[in-house]
């Protein structure tokens, strides 16, 4: 028994002596970057295209020339065109923070895509379908999919630690440096440059504008495609005293109620209905929230009735919530009597929880409805199509960066209201060619479309240079086939001659 206790004690000491993870103190040795190149061809936009793929690591270095991070990226370069120097380049990333670029890579832009049910059904289990993607924009532009530190195969190395890269500014600085190195390596300084980010990736894209264009060493950006945008966190972060999220989310709740048959559709269209809700939200509803206790009881009851009618909820529930419906509780409440909760990333999805009386769902039906397919897809694609031979885990979506995310003054990611939207306005004032496409899903209860509408109609942004597009899907609108096709049409139009 004493020997067993001694062994257990030694094991415990060993666990204590070894760092819990490389996130706390980097222990990665610095190895030469691994790079894998392949030559391929495909048909995109109706055009036969030959291209090269470069999947591999790029080292970032400190002022002493010491490696601090290894950024993994996947580059697609068209090889059958002559005027490569002036060919557009798209730098693409997802959000989280902590998400790899897999979603935009295998969801919409890449030469292959993961095929999941278009009607918001669960993706089930393997085998999943990885299919050719003729909608890819590779005929028009080269593409670089970037995985920030702590996502995909990217990590801190040598003298670097994860915390050196986890924060709005630190993250943007690291991606800006990666872009600079890519331009140097591929001699593409004179190419039109575009960014595309999704979710927190839109925050990253706006912060990147400041890093790339904010000084004399100016890397001018031609445009950004914001997908499911979140630039001003006040619009979507529920905290006492902040009524902005209730305004932001109400039209999405109404759209969700429409989708699930809780709204009388007779003589109405979805777009017309949403415009009606927008007008109510900006007017009568916003005024009621601002008045607070000064709102007369009769007006309170009138607004409660209208909120209930638009959201499909019971009037008494709306009154009990003091007119303020939290998005997480809405997801559980809308279809409670039918035994379902609706999704956060995409409220078309619905799922059953362990029991029906909780305030929020167990897990997001629109998350577990697609994650297995994308995880299998990216791992299969890297190994079998791109020849990537890396054994360490490909981090599809990790909570570690977000838990350690810090603002410049070391505030936590969940504290305060970061707002990077003014960088967009500055970029427009200082770059006459800079334009924006803003893509939003009607059924996105994570980054609601009305929050983006309101953000882009403020913050010094010239909306005449913003293309607003909307889709009958959610956060990843491209999992819905009609929305995928329309999104690509909109991107191609955005890239076209002005």
Average pLDDT over residues 322-337: 97
Say if residue 427's pLDDT is above 90: yes
Q: What is the pLDDT of residue 476?
A: 98
- Model pTM? 0.92
Max Cα–Cα distance, the chain, nearest Å: 81
User: Which helix or strand (DSSP H or E) is residue 130 part of?
Assistant: strand 129-132
- The DSSP string of 284-318 is IIHHHHHHGGGS-HHHHHHHHHHHHHHHT--HHHH
Q: What is the pLDDT of residue 11?
A: 35
Q: What is the pLDDT of residue 10?
A: 29
Reduce the DSSP state of residue 238 to 3 states and report it: coil
Mean pLDDT of the chain: 92
Q: What is the pLDDT of residue 413?
A: 52
Based on DSSP, count helices (H) and strands (E) in the chain, helices before strands: 16, 14
Of 80, 74, 75, which is closest to residue 49 (Cα–Cα)?
A: 80
Confidence of residue 417 (pLDDT cuts 50, 70, 90): confident
Is residue 312 within 8 Å of 334, Cβ to Cβ?
A: yes
Q: How far apart (Å, rounded) are the C-alpha atoms in residues 87 and 111? A: 18
Q: What is the pLDDT of residue 415?
A: 60
Say if residue 114's pLDDT is above 80: yes
Q: What is the pLDDT of residue 20?
A: 39
Task: Please give the domain boundaries of the chain with CATH numbers for all domains.
Answer: 35-234+371-495 (3.40.50.1820), 240-367 (no CATH)
158-211: pLDDT as tens digits: 999 999 999 999 999 999 999 999 999 999 999 999 999 999 999 999 999 999
Q: How far apart (Å, rounded) are the C-alpha atoms in residues 399 and 363? A: 15
Q: What is the pLDDT of residue 7?
A: 33
Q: How far apart (Å, rounded) are the C-alpha atoms in residues 447 and 287? A: 23
Would you state the structure tokens that stand for residue 365, as one six-digit string? 């039906």
């Amino acid at each position: 028994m004493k020997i067993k206790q001694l062994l257990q004690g030694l094991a415990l000491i060993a666990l204590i002596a070894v760092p819990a993870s490389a996130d706390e103190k980097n222990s990665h040795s610095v190895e030469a970057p691994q790079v894998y190149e392949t030559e391929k061809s495909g048909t995109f936009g109706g055009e036969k295209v030959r291209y090269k793929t470069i999947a591999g690591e790029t080292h970032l270095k400190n002022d002493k020339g010491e490696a601090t991070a290894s950024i993994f990226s996947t580059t697609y370069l068209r090889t059958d065109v002559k005027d490569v120097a002036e060919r557009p380049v798209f730098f693409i990333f997802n959000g989280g923070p902590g998400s790899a670029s897999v979603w935009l890579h295998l969801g919409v832009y890449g030469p292959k895509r993961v095929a999941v049910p278009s009607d918001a059904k669960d993706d089930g289990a393997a085998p999943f379908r990885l299919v050719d993607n003729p909608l890819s924009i590779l005929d028009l532009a080269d593409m670089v999919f970037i995985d920030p530190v702590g996502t995909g195969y990217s990590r801190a190395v040598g003298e670097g630690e994860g915390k050196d890269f986890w924060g709005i500014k630190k993250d943007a600085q690291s991606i800006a440096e990666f872009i600079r190195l890519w331009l140097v390596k591929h001699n593409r300084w004179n190419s039109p440059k575009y960014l595309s980010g999704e979710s927190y990736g839109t925050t990253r894209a706006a912060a990147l504008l400041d890093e790339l264009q904010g000084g004399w060493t100016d890397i001018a950006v031609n445009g950004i495609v914001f997908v499911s945008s979140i630039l001003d966190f006040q619009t979507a972060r529920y905290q006492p005293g902040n009524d902005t999220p209730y305004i932001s989310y109400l039209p999405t709740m109404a759209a969700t109620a429409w989708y699930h048959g809780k709204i009388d559709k007779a003589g109405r269209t979805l777009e017309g209905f949403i415009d009606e809700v927008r007008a109510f939200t900006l007017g009568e509803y916003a005024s009621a929230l601002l008045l607070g206790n000064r709102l007369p009881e009769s007006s309170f009851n009138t607004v409660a009735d209208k909120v209930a009618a638009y959201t499909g909820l019971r009037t008494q529930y709306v009154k009990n919530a003091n007119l303020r419906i939290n998005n997480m509780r809405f997801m559980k409440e809308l279809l409670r009597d039918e035994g379902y909760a609706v999704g956060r990333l995409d409220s078309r999805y619905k799922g059953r929880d362990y029991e029906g009386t909780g305030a929020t769902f167990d897990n997001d039906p629109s998350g577990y409805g697609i994650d297995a397919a994308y995880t299998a897809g990216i791992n299969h694609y890297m190994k079998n199509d791109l020849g990537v031979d890396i054994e360490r885990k490909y981090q599809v979506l990790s909570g570690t960066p977000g838990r350690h995310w810090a603002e410049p003054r070391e505030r936590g990611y969940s504290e305060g209201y970061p707002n990077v939207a003014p960088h967009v306005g500055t970029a427009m004032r200082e770059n006459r060619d800079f334009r924006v496409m803003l893509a939003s899903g009607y059924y996105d209860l994570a980054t609601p479309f009305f929050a983006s509408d309101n953000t882009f109609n403020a913050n010094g942004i010239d909306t005449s240079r913003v293309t607003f597009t909307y889709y009958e899907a959610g956060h990843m609108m491209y999992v819905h086939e009609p929305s995928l096709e329309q999104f690509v049409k909109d991107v191609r139009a955005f890239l076209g001659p002005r």
